Amino acid sequence: MAVENKLPPVLDLIRGNIVKYGNPLALKGSEVAAWAKGLKLPKEGDVLFYTGGEYQLLPFIDSLVKTMTHIDQGSKSFSLMMGVRNILDKAGLNAEKIYASVLAKDRERFNSVCYKAAFVLQQLGYDLAYAGDEELYSGALLYELGFGEDLKEYAPKVRRMIEKTRAKTVVCLSPHAAEVLKLVYPKMLPGFSVEVRTFVELVWERRNKLPAISSPAVVIHDSCRLARELEVDEEIRDILTGTGVPVREAQRNRQWTTCCGGPGKLLFPELSHVMGSRRVAELEETGAETILTSCPYCLAALAGGQEKGDKTAVEDLIEFLFRGYAA
């Protein structure tokens, strides 16, 4: 007996955007690729630099969540809001425009993460290709939220995008993208054989070339996907220790890391915030001044979980390593 379940509308919003626009929040390809303008990265090459648009969409997720926190998702006003969005879509406007003005500062920060990642890898001698405004989101959220059938239809598009670049290796900035490309795609797409690596792994291989960084102690927040599914944890420590940075360890780390609460953000934003704050507190117990992570959602969730006036900084490993070059 087939049942039609009416689930919270935000799920279908995300699904629709991925399937229709190749991005969970309907960001345009040009917006997603804006960070790369000055770099003139070729569209073909052995190593494909893959952002999946994930860092770029962070400020918009927060803004969507802020809207949702004030509106009961089961309520009429929420469906009305979603309705308005759809009308705007038809008129050629999208969510991006609705939220754009609100968070220009964050937008700049998260966009620059991609630039910094490409810069660091280039400095380490990697020749990068980039799909530019043709880049598509990996579909990780389709997988995570249960839209497996939609992913089956969507994944071939991503595959074509990747194969068009003739890349042998895809380097993912987001561990969520790496997980889905490395562990889920091969099951869905026979013959999908591109090597999937994370930013951390590529840096680790050439860590001896990194410039020294002068910094007080840092603490690493291991991302769940990176530490558990992809088993990348010691590499981050090696990288930092190699650049002369003192690393403190949280009580719950590596495969025992505590989730930042990020995955709950769309449906249970308040609870997600509580979990983010608790994780920040666990990390701050170490006395480290900087919290480092290597995942866009952890970055946003932990930064959001900080108390007002909190003296610790939450940074992505990418931003931190870039500092070594800026100094």
Where do contacts with other proteins occur on this chain (CB under 8 A)? 1-9, 11, 72-75, 143-149, 224, 228-229, 255-259, 261-264, 267-268, 270-271, 274-275, 278-279
Distance, in Å, from the CA atom of 273 to the CA atom of 262, rounded to the nearest integer, reads 8
Whichever of 195 and 270 has its CB closer to other proteins, that residue is 270
Q: Which is nearer to other proteins, 3 or 91 (CB)?
A: 3
Q: How far is the CB of 298 from other proteins (least distance, A)?
A: 11
- Asked whether 109 and 13 are in contact (CB, 8 A), the reply is no
CB of 171 to other proteins, least distance (A): 23
Distance separating alpha carbons of residues 194 and 283, to the nearest angstrom: 36
Closest separation between CB of residue 90 and other proteins, Å?
24
Minimum Å gap between C-beta 121 and other proteins is: 28
Nearer to other proteins, 14 or 27 (CB): 14
Pick 53 or 263: Cβ nearer other proteins: 263
How many angstroms separate the CA atoms of 212 and 10, rounded? 44
Residue 95 or 180: the one with the smaller Cβ distance to other proteins is 180
- Measured from the CB of residue 55, what is the shortest distance to other proteins in angstroms? 20
Q: Toward other proteins, which CB reaches closer, 217 or 271?
A: 271
CA distance 302 to 252: 15
Shortest distance (Å) from residue 175 CB to other proteins: 12
CA–CA separation, 65 and 99 (whole Å): 11
Could you tell me which of 122, 112, 129 has the C-alpha nearest to residue 210? Answer: 122
CA–CA gap between residue 214 and residue 325 (Å, rounded): 11
Q: Which is nearer to other proteins, 261 or 304 (CB)?
A: 261
In whole angstroms, what is the distance from residue 225 CA to residue 221 CA? 12
Neighbour count for residue 1 (Cβ, 10 Å): 2
Q: How far apart are the first and last CA of the chain?
A: 64
8-17 b/e (C-beta count within 10 Å ≥ 16 → b) = ebbbebbbbb
| Spatial distance between the Cα atoms of 323 and 327, rounded to a whole number of angstroms | 6
CB 75, min distance to other proteins, A: 8
